[in-house]
Amino acid sequence: MKINDNYLKLKDSYLFSLIAQKVNEHTKTFPDKEIIRLGIGDVTLPLVPAIVDAMQKAVLEMGNANTFKGYGEEQGYSFLRKAICSYYDKKAVLLNEDEVFISDGAKSDLGNILDIFSIDNTVMIPDPVYPVYVDTNIMAGRRIIYINGNIENTFLSLPDEKIKADIIYLCSPNNPTGAVYNKDELKLWVDYALENKAVILFDSAYEIFIRDKKLPTSIYQIEGAKECAIEFCSLSKTAGFTGTRCAYTVIPHELIRNGIALNKLWLRRQTTKFNGVPYIVQRGAEAVFSDDGLSQIKDSIDYYLENARIIADTLIELNIWFTGGKNSPYIWLKCPDEMSSWDFFDFLLDKAGIVGTPGAGFGSNGEGFSRLSAFGSRENVIAATQRFKMFELKN
Ligand code: PLP
């Protein structure tokens, strides 16, 4: 018996536990000081009424012999896949229902999709990045090439013809940097992928935050993308489903490699290893895409975006370099006074009672940066920005 010793190559994921430990110590030492958490990547607003109503109705259906549901289709109920197709129609992206797969989370799908790719593929991952892309490939033993995000490219890496890869991860709007690709930039990636017969894994978990009509909210708004990209999206940030769990993955029929449609491989994988998302949750998810649902979640997203704007305006006033803060719930700032990510974390906590997330936790290019999130309450965001202004911070 041999274990998968690739797991031994993983770095300890100490980021959030170390943050919690430091915050606990701080609270013990200064029990009266109020802490403001701007580090959280979790939503705080509740599910909107349209979703709650739909789930309540579904609970009643499950308690009635005439409407009770047992196992559903592994790839999701048709009513939800249709609702997602109609959401894509509004983006001028036409999808067939069987190109949409429902799951319990984008995190699971992003990890599980690797089942359909050989371990001989080389993957290309931006740095800094959502750590799941890196760790799932280390677990499988794949070769990883990192591409640099930095101030010069505003954390939006572009393809380099000299660097070849088979699988490319892109996330826009980005976690952790909040940066968003425009259509021309995404077109460069699509052209690169088509040219190299690579596959783009496009994570659009934060697409709902895009308000600038010129920016793409789906990679399929780029010509040629259906032949080279899989799109992952989630209701976690879209509609507050972090605890309810529902996401979707799109694999267009046009995406063919080695003569095989990847859609077919994923369907085979899902029907073998996955048994679907609860009916009640899928009814709640369907309600997200109804007129009422979309208008109610817009109010929640508006609230987070306004928080982001308040933080961004403060950084502009203080002359601190940042990306994000627009079309995204994240603000990625350069730590003032050449501080390291953790030094700035300690500074913010000790001097201002604010908790951020050290950029170094998202990859080596994140060193010297910090991520703030807009998922807190308005009151806390305003209080935090007032505390920021008390210091002589500069880049
Ligand atoms: N992708 C990105 C970029 C994320 O930031 C997150 C969650 O924070 C996810 C995917 C995971 O989404 P889910 O809750 O659907 O698993």
Residue 30 bridge partners (DSSP) = none
Helix (H, G, I), strand (E, B) or coil at 174: coil
- For atom 2 of ligand 1, the residue with the nearest CA is 205
Per-residue b or e along 4-35, where b marks 16 or more CB atoms closer than 10 Å to that residue's CB: eeeeeeeeeeebeeebeebbeebeeeeeeeee
Mean pLDDT of the chain: 96
Rounded to the nearest 10 degrees, the angle between the axes of helix 279-288 and helix 78-89 is 20
Span 120-140, mean pLDDT? 96
In single-letter form, the type of residue at position 56 comes to Q
pLDDT at 395: 74
Taking the chain, what is the end-to-end CA distance rounded to the nearest angstrom? 54
Q: How far is the CA of 223 from the centre of ligand 1 (A)?
A: 26
Question: For residue 261, how far is the Cα from the chain centroid?
Answer: 26
Hey, which of 44, 181, 234, 242 would you mutate to test ligand 1's pocket, going by the most ligand atoms within 8 Å of its Cβ? 234
pLDDT above 90 for 332: yes
pLDDT-derived band at 146 (thresholds 50, 70, 90) equals very high
pLDDT above 80 for 394: no
Q: How far is the CA of 361 from the centre of ligand 1 (A)?
A: 16
Per-residue pLDDT tens for 273-314? 999 999 999 999 999 999 999 999 999 999 999 999 999 999
Hey, which of 207, 237, 277, 288 would you mutate to test ligand 1's pocket, going by the most ligand atoms within 8 Å of its Cβ? 237
Span 384-388, mean pLDDT? 93
In contact, 230 and 267? CB cutoff 8 Å: no
Residue 12 bridge partners (DSSP) = none
Hey, which of 108, 130, 155, 172 would you mutate to test ligand 1's pocket, going by the most ligand atoms within 8 Å of its Cβ? 130
Residue 227 buriedness (CB in 10 A; 0-12 / 13-18 / 19+): middle
Q: Is the dihedral of CA 331, 337, 341, 342 positive or negative?
A: negative
Q: How far is the CA of 390 from the centre of ligand 1 (A)?
A: 34
Q: How far is the CA of 341 from the centre of ligand 1 (A)?
A: 23
The CB density around residue 368, as the number of other CB atoms within 10 Å, is 17
Residue 153 buriedness (CB in 10 A; 0-12 / 13-18 / 19+): middle
Span 366-379, mean pLDDT? 97
pLDDT at 121: 98
Q: How far is the CA of 227 from the centre of ligand 1 (A)?
A: 24
Atom of ligand 1 nearest to the CA of 42: 8
pLDDT-derived band at 151 (thresholds 50, 70, 90) equals very high
Instruction: Give residues (CB < 6 A) around ligand 1.
Output: 41, 105-107, 130, 171, 175, 203, 205, 234, 236, 242, 247
Q: How far is the CA of 234 from the centre of ligand 1 (A)?
A: 7
pLDDT at 16: 85
pLDDT at 11: 86
pLDDT-derived band at 393 (thresholds 50, 70, 90) equals confident
In contact, 148 and 127? CB cutoff 8 Å: yes
Per-residue pLDDT tens for 37-82? 998 789 999 999 999 999 999 999 999 999 999 999 999 999 999 9
The CB density around residue 394, as the number of other CB atoms within 10 Å, is 10
Q: How far is the CA of 248 from the centre of ligand 1 (A)?
A: 11
Q: How far is the CA of 96 from the centre of ligand 1 (A)?
A: 24
Span 324-342, mean pLDDT? 96
Question: What is the C-alpha separation between 290 and 51, in angstroms, rounded?
Answer: 9
- The share of the chain scoring above pLDDT 70, in percent, equals 100
Question: What is the C-alpha separation between 122 and 144, in angstroms, rounded?
Answer: 6
pLDDT at 336: 94
pLDDT at 217: 98
Question: What is the C-alpha separation between 25 and 231, in angstroms, rounded?
Answer: 41
pLDDT at 116: 98
Question: For residue 365, how far is the Cα from the chain centroid?
Answer: 19
- For atom 3 of ligand 1, the residue with the nearest CA is 175
Lookup: tokens for 311: 């933080």
Question: For residue 184, how far is the Cα from the chain centroid?
Answer: 21
